Structure 1
Amino acid sequence: MHHFNYKNGRLHCEDVALDTIADDVGTPVYVYSAATLRRHARVIADAFDGMSCLIAYSVKANGNLGVLKTLAAEGCGADVVSGGELMRARKAGIPASKIVFSGVGKTRAEMRLALEEGIHQFNIESSAELGVLSEVAKSVGKTARVAVRVNPDVAAGGHPNISTGKSGDKFGVPWNDARTTYAQIAETDGVEAVGVDVHIGSQIDDIAPMRAAFEKVMTLVKDLRNDGHDIRRVDLGGGLGIPYRSTDNPPPPSAYAQMIREVTEGMGLEVILEPGRVIAGNAGVLVTEALFVKPAPQRNFLMVDAGMNDLMRPALYQAHHDILPVRERGADDEKVRYDIVGPICESTDKFAAERDMPCIEGGDRLAVMSAGAYGAVLSSQYNARPLVPEVLVDGDRYAVIRRRPDFDEMIALESMPDWLS
């Protein structure tokens, strides 16, 4: 469910018309619904009610401070994969005791920062990383609480590029090496094994592969306890899918929670979850304005002012996003088939191919739906285009939570060498 609906012929975010925001801020612009963020966080929390559970929102999905602050108020922790994400979470008021540091390539500086902040745990992904973390922890007089991310060789995810739990993926310790890695931890100063971590992919629309992976992890937990390790946490990652199409029907958080209850029953474990897309995905849209229609022999190109530098998912994953006109059209309006493309000088700069839409003219505005996750965070200034502003709506009020930089700000980090001055 989300809070984007037509009212009086105009698409609204909660009680604010998207046209109002576009008139004020310009296009393209990301718009997020605080009510949707809160609702999704509460649905997940309610599904796990009564369990020892840390909901560590995945900052990489959408790391805007306004979004993080909204979720911090709901009691969410944070799953971070960089020092920058860690500092974003802390600045938004998320306690370090609720922060999990994931990621396959942490630097020594990032490890030191996380240790000094006192985070909940590190998810380590290799023996080599373990050795570096031990050195850093000893150098600052700390003990790092760690979980080993294991690779269970279970394929899942909506696209090969977001499947992370299959043998051959760069993520995690190979399944057959897991117990050896924990034995290494027991003999290494500066680190303490407290849990097991697993994450098999993103945009998963079937609980079966998750259950298969989690059941393997529970077997490993038992083996590790028999080996003498005090395993008291299990981090089950994220990855639950969302409906990008109106016809999509991914499993609800309640079904996901019930499966986890069944798998972990009687184990006495704290469960850590890392939801990202399922909280933020349908809480945001990208509003763009049509420039003109370019007729071609085999298709009509609908040129819009947003580009792949603003929303990378269609180019990167061939991802589908529903696209709605901001001005409501009748169900019987004649449809025109368009390729909806942006101004970037790349052939992959395409939001939709052969999409049937009501007739669109220059100046009409469109909302690219389900753009709240992996949208603004993946944006760039390619083709010297400024980053897209982000707006947070809460009821009938809204605020710009990232403004669009001007040209001088875009190049402020650059300078001429002396010999060119």
Structure 2
Amino acid sequence: MTAFAYRKSSLHAEGVPLSAIADAVGTPTYVYSAAALTERFREVTEAFAGHPHLICYSVKANSNLAILKLFTALGSGFDIVSGGELARVKQAGGDAGKTVFAGVGKTPDEMAQALSSGIRLFNVESAEELEALDAVGRRAGRRAPFALRVNPDVDARTHRYIATGLKTSKFGVPFEEAVALYAKAKKMKGVQALGLDCHIGSQLTRTAPMRAALTKVADLYVTLKAKGHALEYLDVGGGLGITYSDETPPSPQEYARTVLAAVKPTGATLLLEPGRSLVGNAGVLLTRVLYRKPTETRTFVVVDAGMNDLIRPALYEAHHALQPLVKRRGKDVQVDVVGPVCESTDVLAKGRSLVLPRQGELFAFMSAGAYGMSMASTYNSRPRPAEVLVDGEAWRVVRERERVEDLWRGERA
């Protein structure tokens, strides 16, 4: 389905005109489609239906409680990278027993919190982290379940900032050190090896890197089992890409065929960590035109959303399609759409062909459901946007717009 489509000349989210939300809630505002979230989750579930698996939604992609609650109701587990994300999962009714804890810098307090909550698995990323987890487990009088995240040194062929499986990456332990670390863990009293983990990057649009990495990891899994390690889980990570402009990422079905062919020799229960692929195209960011600013070299269109609201274009040179909420006829001109933040990098859409926008006109940055609001900040003392969830012809605010007074909450003059 297409969650965001024009009906006559008006862009809708499911059955709701987006202009009605903008008028009622204001801008900038993130809007998500419950139908799109549900459909994408079910597509992945069905693609892996013939193999034991658990989908662990990657909370960092979008951590709104309403979205976490929706995925909980669909049977999802979660992939977290902080104690704060674990708290969000629990607040939304999620099950810590269906949650994996990743990240290179877990603190002992976060480890203890997760262990006491009954976490399914810690994905350990260094030898010293393994020792720290062992100490936490011994203090708690129990063995902390873990998987080593190995670095297979495979080029994911994605943006250099979101590639995580190369030797130069901070993530994972070197592939050649894994066997020795599992042997060391076997002598520890506070940890228990239950799995093996690998994740090579985000916004993956080709199957070849996935196949190469998972084939190496599957061979290692079989080797570890032969050495007497009672492993149950193979965590294949996430990272499946979406279409922002002209990308053609694998479908969930093609992705599943690639993964299952690579891991077939293991017999392991799979842990899958989709994030962007579930929420990316299920959300948009609404914005309103403030000013037009023609110069000798270009025409700027200044909108009320900035890089603090949607940092991906500034951070990754990312492309987000830009659509008017109400189509109108006219001659296209080339414009740079920029925000109000006091930075030259606050360019949200460069060199776009649009009918010259009018002051007050409303637009939507498409494919903004992932790493939009979750990476938003209050830079320039700008309150963060509101968030809205649409379900059919109904909608509701699932995060109120931040107030100016919220900006200094907790500060002391």
Q: TM-score range by the shorter chain?
A: over 0.9
Equivalences for 1:209-224 in 2 at 5 Å?
209-224=209-224
**Aligned residue in 1 for 2:116:** 116
2:293 is paired with a residue whose SS is strand
2:266 is paired with a residue whose SS is coil
2:211 is paired with a residue whose SS is helix
**Aligned residue in 1 for 2:351:** 354
Equivalences for 1:99-248 in 2 at 5 Å?
99-245=99-245, 247-248=246-247
Distance in structure 2 (CA, Å) of the matches to 1:232 and 1:381: 43
Give CA deviations for 1:304-350 in whole Å, capped at 9, x if unaligned: 000000000000000001000111235xx411100110000000000
The Cα RMSD (Å) is: 1.0
Q: Which amino acid counterpart does residue 193 of structure 2 have in structure 1? A: A
Mean alpha-carbon deviation: is it higher for 310-319 or for 354-363? 354-363
**Aligned residue in 1 for 2:254:** 255
Equivalences for 1:55-94 in 2 at 5 Å?
55-94=55-94
CA shift for structure 1 position 157 = 4.7
Give CA deviations for 1:156-207 in whole Å, capped at 9, x if unaligned: 1531000000001000000111111111111111101111100000001001
CA shift for structure 1 position 267 = 2.2
Partners of 2:53 and 2:269 within 8 A in 1: yes
Mean alpha-carbon deviation: is it higher for 204-213 or for 150-159? 150-159
Q: Which amino acid counterpart does residue 103 of structure 1 have in structure 2? A: G
CA shift for structure 1 position 266 = 4.2
Distance in structure 2 (CA, Å) of the matches to 1:248 and 1:259: 19
Distance in structure 1 (CA, Å) of the matches to 2:68 and 2:276: 13
2:328 is paired with a residue whose SS is coil
Equivalences for 1:44-55 in 2 at 5 Å?
44-55=44-55
Partners of 1:2 and 1:283 within 8 A in 2: no
Partners of 1:148 and 1:172 within 8 A in 2: yes
1:89 is paired with a residue whose SS is helix
Mean alpha-carbon deviation: is it higher for 9-18 or for 57-66? 9-18
Distance in structure 2 (CA, Å) of the matches to 1:299 and 1:269: 56
**Aligned residue in 2 for 1:372:** 369
Distance in structure 2 (CA, Å) of the matches to 1:142 and 1:18: 51
CA shift for structure 1 position 8 = 3.2
Determine whether 1:280 maps to 2:279.
yes
**Aligned residue in 2 for 1:42:** 42
CA shift for structure 1 position 2 = 3.4
Q: Which amino acid counterpart does residue 166 of structure 1 have in structure 2? A: L
Partners of 1:58 and 1:274 within 8 A in 2: yes
Q: Which amino acid counterpart does residue 159 of structure 1 have in structure 2? A: H
**Aligned residue in 2 for 1:407:** 404
The 3 A distance-change label for structure 1 pair 157 and 80 is farther
The answer for unaligned runs of 5 or more in structure 1 is 417-421
Distance in structure 1 (CA, Å) of the matches to 2:204 and 2:152: 16
Give CA deviations for 1:224-254 in whole Å, capped at 9, x if unaligned: 1122211221000000000001x32111010
**Aligned residue in 2 for 1:389:** 386
Distance in structure 2 (CA, Å) of the matches to 1:139 and 1:261: 39
**Aligned residue in 2 for 1:419:** none
Q: Which amino acid counterpart does residue 37 of structure 1 have in structure 2? A: L
The answer for unaligned runs of 5 or more in structure 2 is none
Partners of 2:56 and 2:78 within 8 A in 1: yes
Distance in structure 1 (CA, Å) of the matches to 2:274 and 2:130: 25
Partners of 2:157 and 2:209 within 8 A in 1: no
1:265 is paired with a residue whose SS is helix
Distance in structure 2 (CA, Å) of the matches to 1:228 and 1:193: 11
Distance in structure 2 (CA, Å) of the matches to 1:413 and 1:20: 35
Give CA deviations for 1:132-160 in whole Å, capped at 9, x if unaligned: 11111111122111000000000115310
1:340 is paired with a residue whose SS is strand
Distance in structure 1 (CA, Å) of the matches to 2:284 and 2:148: 36
Distance in structure 2 (CA, Å) of the matches to 1:329 and 1:190: 65
Partners of 2:218 and 2:265 within 8 A in 1: no
Determine whether 1:344 maps to 2:341.
yes
1:346 is paired with a residue whose SS is coil
Distance in structure 1 (CA, Å) of the matches to 2:175 and 2:3: 42
The partner residue of 1:335 within 308, 314, 332 is 332
The 3 A distance-change label for structure 1 pair 157 and 105 is farther
Q: Which amino acid counterpart does residue 31 of structure 2 have in structure 1? A: V
CA shift for structure 1 position 410 = 1.9
1:196 is paired with a residue whose SS is strand
2:384 is paired with a residue whose SS is coil
Distance in structure 2 (CA, Å) of the matches to 1:157 and 1:343: 33
**Aligned residue in 1 for 2:295:** 296
Give CA deviations for 1:372-410 in whole Å, capped at 9, x if unaligned: 000000000111100111011111111111111222222
Partners of 2:97 and 2:118 within 8 A in 1: yes
Distance in structure 1 (CA, Å) of the matches to 2:119 and 2:319: 36
Distance in structure 1 (CA, Å) of the matches to 2:247 and 2:124: 34
TM-score (structure 1 length as normaliser): 0.97
Q: Which amino acid counterpart does residue 83 of structure 1 have in structure 2? A: G
Distance in structure 2 (CA, Å) of the matches to 1:180 and 1:2: 49
Partners of 1:157 and 1:200 within 8 A in 2: no
Distance in structure 2 (CA, Å) of the matches to 1:172 and 1:374: 22
CA shift for structure 1 position 93 = 1.4
2:97 is paired with a residue whose SS is helix
Distance in structure 2 (CA, Å) of the matches to 1:399 and 1:239: 29
Distance in structure 2 (CA, Å) of the matches to 1:272 and 1:279: 15
